[in-house]
Amino acid sequence: MNSWCQPFNGLTPLSENLIVMKKILYVTDALDLHLDNLDFAGYICELAQSKLLAVFLENDESEMRTDSMIRTAAVNAGLNVTEEPLSLKQHTCDTNIQRFKTACESKGIDCVVHRDRGNPLSELILESRYADLLLLNVSTTFSPNNEGTPTDFVKDVMSNAECPVMLMPASFNGIGEIVFTYDGKPSSIHAIKQFTYLFPQLNELKTVVVSVNPEEVSPEERYKFREWMHAHYNYLDFLSSEGNVKMGLVELLFDRDKSIVVMGAYGRSMISNFLSPSHANPVIKVISQAVFIAHN
CA distance 100 to 69: 20
Q: Say yes or no: 97 and 154 in one domain.
A: yes
Domain limits for position 184: 177-293
Would 121 be classed as within a structural domain?
yes
**pLDDT tens digits for range 166-225:** 999 878 989 999 999 888 888 889 999 999 999 999 999 999 998 866 677 888 998 999
Mean of the pLDDT values across residues 219-248? 85
Q: Are 160 and 187 found together in one domain?
A: no
Contact 234, 203 (CB under 8 A): yes
Query: Does residue 7 register a pLDDT over 50?
Result: no
More confident of the two residues 10 and 130 = 130
**Short-list 161, 184, 166, 154, CA closest to 245:** 184
How many residues in total does the chain contain?
296
161 has a pLDDT exceeding 90: yes
- Does 103 score more than 50 pLDDT? yes
Chain-centre distance for alpha carbon 133:
8
Q: How confident is the model at residue 273 (pLDDT cuts 50, 70, 90)?
A: very low
Same domain, 138 and 219: no
- Tell me, what's the pLDDT at 240? 79
**What is the percent of the chain where pLDDT is above 90?**
50
pLDDT at 271: 28
264 pLDDT tier (thresholds 50, 70, 90): confident
Among 168, 196, 230, give the residue marking a domain's end.
Answer: 168
| Axis crossing angle, helix 277-286 with helix 152-160, rounded to the nearest 10 | 120
Give the CATH number of the domain where residue 131 resides: 3.40.50.620
Phi, psi of 218 (to 5 degrees): -70, 155
Tell me what pLDDT residue 256 has.
Answer: 73
Whether residues 112 and 205 fall in one domain: no
CA distance 124 to 160: 10
pLDDT for 269: 35
Cβ pair 295, 213 in contact under 8 A? no
Residues 187, 140: one domain?
Answer: no
The band of 274, judged by pLDDT with boundaries at 50, 70 and 90, is very low
| Least-confidence region, from 60-74, 90-104, 172-186, 206-220 | 60-74
Domain check: are 105 and 190 in the same one? no
Q: Name 288's Cβ contacts closer than 8 Å, sequence gap at least 6.
A: 169, 170, 171
Q: Do residue 195 and residue 277 come from a single domain?
A: yes
For residues 59 and 98, membership in a common domain is answered with: yes
> Do residue 76 and residue 120 come from a single domain?
yes
Query: What pLDDT is recorded for position 63?
Result: 55
pTM for this model (two decimals)? 0.85
Maximum average pLDDT range among 17-31, 57-71, 223-237, 261-275? 223-237
User: Domain tally for the chain?
Assistant: 2
- Residue in 34, 33, 32, 53 with CA at minimum distance from that of residue 109: 53
**Sheet of strand 206-212: strand arrangement:** 111-118, 51-59, 23-29, 133-137, 165-168, 290-293, 259-263, 177-181, 206-212, 235-241
Q: Do strands 206-212 and 133-137 pair parallel, antiparallel, or not at all (unpaired)?
A: unpaired
Domain boundary among 168, 190, 206: 168
- Provide the pairing of β-strand 133-137 with 111-118: unpaired
Whether residue 272 has pLDDT greater than 90: no
Indicate whether 125 and 149 sit together in one domain.
Answer: yes
220 and 130, same structural domain? no
- The mean of the pLDDT values for the chain is 83
Do 162 and 243 belong to one domain? no
Inside any domain, residue 248: yes
pLDDT tens profile 140-150: 988 878 888 88
CA gap 70, 196 in Å, rounded: 41
